[in-house]
Amino acid sequence: MYKMDEAKLKQLLEEAFQKQNPDDLDKLTGLLRGSEKEFDAALSDSQADISVALADIDMFSRINDTYGHDFGDEVIKEIAKVFTGIDASKEVYRCGGEEFLVFFEGMSKEDAFLIMEQARKSISGEACLKASATFSAGIATYPEDGANWTEIKRKADGALYRAKTAGRNKICLAKEEKLVTKTAHYTIEQLKRLEKLAGEKNMSEASLMREALDELLKKYNT
């Protein structure tokens, strides 16, 4: 298991608390907690590429069921320590539950992949506590893979899904998507409301429809 110097970890956490409002930090891990609005602003304000890794602890519900929720919290904290200790040019967020976001500013997808792969190996090389926990991740890069946070998150989530379906304990990169036209029937009222929402959000109607479909598939876990 990756071991970080305790004094260094304490220093990093203290610096994070000094820079952030305590309400912006996750109480369990000390990691940042960000909003969709903040993530979108971080991308649009950046003068350099930003690679985003969306990571998820594998089979976490089984860990909780087998060892209990207190032990599951310990696993989350151990993996958070690994993400805190990797490459300095990053920010780490806990997105709730067993999901994390790692932002690498000024870094290509390939370089972010190598860093996340090192973190993955450090965890899977030895048992994470007694649960032998692992994580999977998907990586997408702004602006190469999308023009805003919604598109980047969708690409990273798609890569994470491929990592999970390929057997878990893997890191996958976002790839170019092939769009397929499907015939569907919508009411005039639905289309008018979609057009209005697209104008308000400054997004294309197609992007909004893809976002809605992603949420639907996620809801039904398929």
Catalytic residues: 98
Residue 108 to residue 110: CA distance in whole angstroms: 5
Residue 159 to residue 161: CA distance in whole angstroms: 5
Max distance between CA atoms of the chain, in angstroms, equals 62
Residue 144 to residue 60: CA distance in whole angstroms: 31
Task: Please state whether beta strands 99-105 and 50-57 pair in parallel, antiparallel, or not at all (unpaired).
Answer: antiparallel
The 8-class DSSP code of residue 201 comes to H
Residue 191, exposed/middle/buried by CB under 10 A (0-12, 13-18, 19+)?
Answer: exposed
The 8-class DSSP code of residue 128 comes to S
Torsion of CA 222, 63, 16, 142, to 10 degrees: -20
Residue 72 to residue 65: CA distance in whole angstroms: 9
Q: Among all chains, which residue has been given the structure tokens 């009222």? A: 189
Q: Among all chains, which residue has been given the structure tokens 């490459």? A: 87
